[in-house]
Amino acid sequence: MNIEKSSNIKKDPVEIEGAKDVEIRWLISEKDGAENFAMRMFELQPGGYTPLHTHPQEHEVFVLEGEGTFVFEGQEHPFGTEYVVFVPPNKEHRFMNTGETVLRMLCIIPTSSG
Amino acid sequence: MNIEKSSNIKKDPVEIEGAKDVEIRWLISEKDGAENFAMRMFELQPGGYTPLHTHPQEHEVFVLEGEGTFVFEGQEHPFGTEYVVFVPPNKEHRFMNTGETVLRMLCIIPTSSG
Protein backbone atom coordinates (compact mmCIF):
# COMPACT_ATOMS: atom_id res chain seq x y z
CA MET A 1 0.00 0.00 0.00
CA ASN A 2 1.15 3.51 -0.65
CA ILE A 3 -0.63 6.80 0.06
CA GLU A 4 1.14 10.04 -0.67
CA LYS A 5 0.66 13.63 -1.76
CA SER A 6 1.64 13.60 -5.42
CA SER A 7 3.55 16.89 -5.19
CA ASN A 8 5.95 15.17 -2.75
CA ILE A 9 7.00 12.69 -5.44
CA LYS A 10 10.20 13.51 -7.33
CA LYS A 11 9.85 15.36 -10.63
CA ASP A 12 12.36 14.79 -13.42
CA PRO A 13 12.88 16.40 -16.81
CA VAL A 14 11.89 14.29 -19.83
CA GLU A 15 15.08 14.32 -21.85
CA ILE A 16 14.12 12.49 -24.99
CA GLU A 17 14.34 13.66 -28.58
CA GLY A 18 11.25 15.52 -29.72
CA ALA A 19 10.14 16.58 -26.21
CA LYS A 20 10.22 20.22 -25.09
CA ASP A 21 9.70 21.58 -21.56
CA VAL A 22 8.19 18.37 -20.19
CA GLU A 23 8.62 16.95 -16.69
CA ILE A 24 7.43 13.66 -15.23
CA ARG A 25 6.58 12.20 -11.82
CA TRP A 26 6.20 8.42 -11.54
CA LEU A 27 3.26 8.37 -9.10
CA ILE A 28 2.74 4.59 -9.03
CA SER A 29 5.05 2.07 -10.67
CA GLU A 30 6.45 -1.43 -10.39
CA LYS A 31 8.55 -0.41 -7.39
CA ASP A 32 5.27 0.14 -5.48
CA GLY A 33 4.17 -3.37 -6.44
CA ALA A 34 2.04 -2.27 -9.40
CA GLU A 35 2.44 -5.22 -11.74
CA ASN A 36 -0.01 -4.32 -14.50
CA PHE A 37 0.07 -0.57 -15.12
CA ALA A 38 1.84 2.58 -14.00
CA MET A 39 0.54 6.09 -13.26
CA ARG A 40 2.66 9.08 -14.26
CA MET A 41 2.00 12.82 -14.00
CA PHE A 42 3.32 15.06 -16.77
CA GLU A 43 3.86 18.80 -16.57
CA LEU A 44 4.27 20.76 -19.80
CA GLN A 45 5.22 24.42 -19.71
CA PRO A 46 3.47 26.80 -22.16
CA GLY A 47 4.81 25.97 -25.63
CA GLY A 48 6.00 22.54 -24.46
CA TYR A 49 5.14 19.24 -26.12
CA THR A 50 5.67 15.50 -25.93
CA PRO A 51 7.36 13.74 -28.88
CA LEU A 52 5.36 12.95 -32.01
CA HIS A 53 5.69 9.20 -31.61
CA THR A 54 4.18 5.75 -31.90
CA HIS A 55 4.48 2.81 -29.53
CA PRO A 56 2.74 -0.50 -28.84
CA GLN A 57 1.38 0.54 -25.40
CA GLU A 58 -1.95 2.29 -25.09
CA HIS A 59 -2.24 5.47 -22.98
CA GLU A 60 -5.07 6.56 -20.73
CA VAL A 61 -4.84 10.28 -20.03
CA PHE A 62 -6.70 12.59 -17.65
CA VAL A 63 -6.07 16.34 -17.84
CA LEU A 64 -5.71 17.87 -14.37
CA GLU A 65 -4.96 21.48 -15.27
CA GLY A 66 -4.44 23.69 -18.31
CA GLU A 67 -5.30 23.39 -21.96
CA GLY A 68 -3.69 22.04 -25.07
CA THR A 69 -3.92 20.25 -28.37
CA PHE A 70 -3.80 16.51 -28.89
CA VAL A 71 -2.32 15.61 -32.28
CA PHE A 72 -3.49 12.18 -33.43
CA GLU A 73 -2.62 10.84 -36.87
CA GLY A 74 -2.31 14.33 -38.32
CA GLN A 75 -5.52 15.72 -36.82
CA GLU A 76 -5.55 18.32 -34.03
CA HIS A 77 -7.99 18.02 -31.14
CA PRO A 78 -8.18 20.85 -28.58
CA PHE A 79 -8.77 19.92 -24.94
CA GLY A 80 -9.00 21.50 -21.50
CA THR A 81 -9.14 20.59 -17.82
CA GLU A 82 -10.87 17.32 -16.92
CA TYR A 83 -10.73 15.95 -20.44
CA VAL A 84 -10.03 12.25 -20.82
CA VAL A 85 -8.09 10.77 -23.75
CA PHE A 86 -7.70 7.15 -24.80
CA VAL A 87 -4.71 6.68 -27.10
CA PRO A 88 -4.79 3.26 -28.79
CA PRO A 89 -1.55 1.37 -29.50
CA ASN A 90 0.59 2.04 -32.59
CA LYS A 91 -0.95 5.40 -33.56
CA GLU A 92 1.13 8.53 -33.99
CA HIS A 93 0.32 11.19 -31.41
CA ARG A 94 1.63 14.17 -29.43
CA PHE A 95 0.39 16.39 -26.60
CA MET A 96 1.08 20.13 -26.87
CA ASN A 97 0.55 22.87 -24.31
CA THR A 98 -1.11 25.59 -26.36
CA GLY A 99 -2.29 27.56 -23.32
CA GLU A 100 -0.65 30.26 -21.23
CA THR A 101 -0.39 28.24 -18.03
CA VAL A 102 1.13 24.91 -17.07
CA LEU A 103 -0.54 21.79 -18.49
CA ARG A 104 -0.67 18.90 -16.05
CA MET A 105 -2.03 15.48 -16.89
CA LEU A 106 -2.03 11.91 -15.68
CA CYS A 107 -0.95 9.23 -18.14
CA ILE A 108 -1.39 5.56 -17.32
CA ILE A 109 0.46 2.88 -19.30
CA PRO A 110 0.85 -0.89 -19.04
CA THR A 111 4.06 -1.98 -17.33
CA SER A 112 6.54 -4.17 -19.13
CA SER A 113 5.51 -7.12 -16.96
CA GLY A 114 1.76 -6.37 -17.18
CA MET B 1 -9.05 7.10 -30.07
CA ASN B 2 -11.40 8.92 -27.78
CA ILE B 3 -11.16 12.46 -26.40
CA GLU B 4 -13.97 13.80 -24.29
CA LYS B 5 -14.81 16.11 -21.40
CA SER B 6 -15.24 13.74 -18.46
CA SER B 7 -18.32 15.58 -17.14
CA ASN B 8 -20.13 14.64 -20.38
CA ILE B 9 -19.78 10.94 -19.59
CA LYS B 10 -22.78 9.27 -17.96
CA LYS B 11 -22.79 9.04 -14.17
CA ASP B 12 -24.51 6.14 -12.42
CA PRO B 13 -25.22 5.33 -8.79
CA VAL B 14 -23.12 2.54 -7.27
CA GLU B 15 -25.79 0.24 -5.94
CA ILE B 16 -23.82 -2.44 -4.17
CA GLU B 17 -24.04 -3.55 -0.57
CA GLY B 18 -21.84 -1.54 1.75
CA ALA B 19 -21.66 1.55 -0.49
CA LYS B 20 -23.31 4.84 0.50
CA ASP B 21 -23.80 7.95 -1.67
CA VAL B 22 -21.31 6.87 -4.34
CA GLU B 23 -21.58 7.50 -8.08
CA ILE B 24 -19.37 6.28 -10.92
CA ARG B 25 -18.43 7.35 -14.45
CA TRP B 26 -16.62 4.82 -16.65
CA LEU B 27 -14.22 7.24 -18.38
CA ILE B 28 -12.26 4.64 -20.38
CA SER B 29 -13.16 0.97 -20.61
CA GLU B 30 -13.10 -2.06 -22.88
CA LYS B 31 -15.77 -0.52 -25.12
CA ASP B 32 -13.23 2.20 -26.02
CA GLY B 33 -10.72 -0.50 -26.95
CA ALA B 34 -8.85 -0.40 -23.63
CA GLU B 35 -7.76 -4.02 -23.29
CA ASN B 36 -5.57 -3.84 -20.20
CA PHE B 37 -7.04 -1.41 -17.70
CA ALA B 38 -10.05 0.85 -17.17
CA MET B 39 -10.34 4.38 -15.77
CA ARG B 40 -13.33 5.26 -13.61
CA MET B 41 -14.24 8.46 -11.74
CA PHE B 42 -15.98 8.15 -8.39
CA GLU B 43 -17.99 10.84 -6.64
CA LEU B 44 -18.75 10.41 -2.95
CA GLN B 45 -21.06 12.83 -1.16
CA PRO B 46 -20.12 14.00 2.36
CA GLY B 47 -20.60 11.00 4.66
CA GLY B 48 -20.47 8.58 1.72
CA TYR B 49 -18.18 5.58 1.45
CA THR B 50 -17.21 2.66 -0.76
CA PRO B 51 -17.71 -0.89 0.57
CA LEU B 52 -15.19 -2.34 3.02
CA HIS B 53 -14.06 -5.06 0.66
CA THR B 54 -11.29 -7.22 -0.75
CA HIS B 55 -10.66 -8.28 -4.34
CA PRO B 56 -7.88 -9.69 -6.48
CA GLN B 57 -7.45 -6.55 -8.64
CA GLU B 58 -5.16 -3.76 -7.58
CA HIS B 59 -6.39 -0.13 -7.61
CA GLU B 60 -4.53 2.99 -8.59
CA VAL B 61 -6.28 6.06 -7.23
CA PHE B 62 -5.79 9.79 -7.76
CA VAL B 63 -7.83 12.25 -5.69
CA LEU B 64 -9.18 15.09 -7.81
CA GLU B 65 -11.17 17.02 -5.23
CA GLY B 66 -12.14 16.83 -1.57
CA GLU B 67 -10.81 15.01 1.44
CA GLY B 68 -11.37 11.72 3.13
CA THR B 69 -10.07 8.71 4.98
CA PHE B 70 -8.62 5.59 3.40
CA VAL B 71 -9.21 2.53 5.59
CA PHE B 72 -6.66 -0.18 4.89
CA GLU B 73 -6.51 -3.37 6.93
CA GLY B 74 -7.99 -1.65 9.97
CA GLN B 75 -5.80 1.46 9.84
CA GLU B 76 -7.15 4.92 8.89
CA HIS B 77 -5.15 7.18 6.59
CA PRO B 78 -6.39 10.74 5.99
CA PHE B 79 -5.93 12.21 2.53
CA GLY B 80 -6.74 15.31 0.50
CA THR B 81 -6.71 16.64 -3.06
CA GLU B 82 -3.96 15.36 -5.35
CA TYR B 83 -3.09 12.40 -3.14
CA VAL B 84 -2.25 9.17 -4.89
CA VAL B 85 -3.08 5.73 -3.46
CA PHE B 86 -1.87 2.31 -4.54
CA VAL B 87 -4.14 -0.46 -3.22
CA PRO B 88 -2.50 -3.88 -3.62
CA PRO B 89 -4.62 -6.96 -4.40
CA ASN B 90 -6.46 -8.94 -1.73
CA LYS B 91 -6.26 -6.35 1.06
CA GLU B 92 -9.35 -5.06 2.86
CA HIS B 93 -9.99 -1.36 2.19
CA ARG B 94 -12.58 1.40 1.95
CA PHE B 95 -12.67 5.07 0.91
CA MET B 96 -14.74 7.45 3.05
CA ASN B 97 -15.66 11.07 2.42
CA THR B 98 -14.98 12.67 5.81
CA GLY B 99 -15.03 16.22 4.43
CA GLU B 100 -17.85 18.70 3.92
CA THR B 101 -17.67 18.80 0.13
CA VAL B 102 -17.86 16.21 -2.62
CA LEU B 103 -14.93 13.78 -2.89
CA ARG B 104 -13.97 12.98 -6.47
CA MET B 105 -11.28 10.51 -7.44
CA LEU B 106 -10.01 8.48 -10.35
CA CYS B 107 -9.63 4.74 -9.83
CA ILE B 108 -7.88 2.60 -12.42
CA ILE B 109 -8.26 -1.19 -12.40
CA PRO B 110 -7.15 -4.03 -14.67
CA THR B 111 -9.87 -5.22 -17.06
CA SER B 112 -11.06 -8.79 -17.00
CA SER B 113 -9.21 -9.45 -20.26
CA GLY B 114 -6.07 -7.58 -19.18
Task: Check residue A114 and report its DSSP letter.
Answer: -
Q: Is residue A58 part of a domain?
A: yes
Q: Is residue A87 part of a domain?
A: yes
Indicate whether B54 pLDDT > 90.
yes
CB contact under 8 A, B3 and A35: no
Q: How confident is the model at residue B3 (pLDDT cuts 50, 70, 90)?
A: very high
Question: Taking CB atoms and an 8 Å cutoff, what residues of chain A touch B86?
Answer: 1-3, 28, 32-34
DSSP string across A74-110: TEEEEE-TTEEEEE-TT--EEEE--SSS-EEEEEEEE
Q: Is residue A64 part of a domain?
A: yes
Q: Is residue B30 part of a domain?
A: yes
Contact between A79 and A69 under an 8 Å Cβ cutoff? The reply is: yes
Q: Counting Cβ atoms within 10 Å, is residue B17 exposed (0-12), middle (13-18) or buried (19+)? A: exposed
CB contact under 8 A, A2 and B86: yes
For the segment B63-91, what is each residue's pLDDT rounded down to a tens digit? 999 999 999 999 999 999 999 999 999 99
- At A74, the amino acid letter reads G
Q: What is the pTM of this model?
A: 0.96
Q: Is residue A104 part of a domain?
A: yes
Report the chain A residue with the minimal C-alpha distance to residue B36. Answer: A110
- Could you give the ipTM of this predicted complex? 0.96
Measure CB to CB from residue B36 to each of A1, A72, A110 and give the nearest one: A110
Cα distance between residue B44 and residue B101, in whole Å? 9
Cα distance between residue B20 and residue B48, in whole Å? 5
A30 phi and psi angles, rounded to 5 deg = -60, -30
CB contact under 8 A, A35 and B58: yes
3-state secondary structure of A111: coil
Question: Taking CB atoms and an 8 Å cutoff, what residues of chain B touch A79?
Answer: 3
DSSP string across B26-95: EEE-GGGT--SEEEEEEEEEEEEE---B--SS-EEEEEEE--EEEEETTEEEEE-TTEEEEE-TT--EEE
Question: What's the angle, vertex CA B90, arms to CA A85 and CA B66, rounded to 5?
Answer: 50
Containing H/E element for B104?
A: strand B103-110
pLDDT, mean of residues A76-90: 97
Q: Is residue A51 part of a domain?
A: yes
User: CATH code at A68?
Assistant: 2.60.120.10
pLDDT, mean of residues A39-60: 96
Q: Which residues of B touch A (CB under 8 A)?
A: 1-7, 9, 27-28, 32-37, 39, 58, 60, 62, 64, 70, 72-73, 77, 79-80, 82-88, 91, 106, 108, 110, 114
Question: Taking CB atoms and an 8 Å cutoff, what residues of chain A touch B9?
Answer: 84
For the segment B6-49, what is each residue's pLDDT rounded down to a tens digit? 999 999 999 999 999 999 999 999 999 998 999 999 999 999 99
Measure CB to CB from residue B108 to each of A35, A37, A88 and give the nearest one: A37
CB contact under 8 A, B84 and A60: no
Q: Is residue A94 part of a domain?
A: yes
Q: Is residue A34 part of a domain?
A: yes
Measure CB to CB from residue B3 to each of A39, A77, A108 and give the nearest one: A77
Tally of domains within chain B: 1
| Residue-range definition of the domain harbouring residue B36 | 11-110
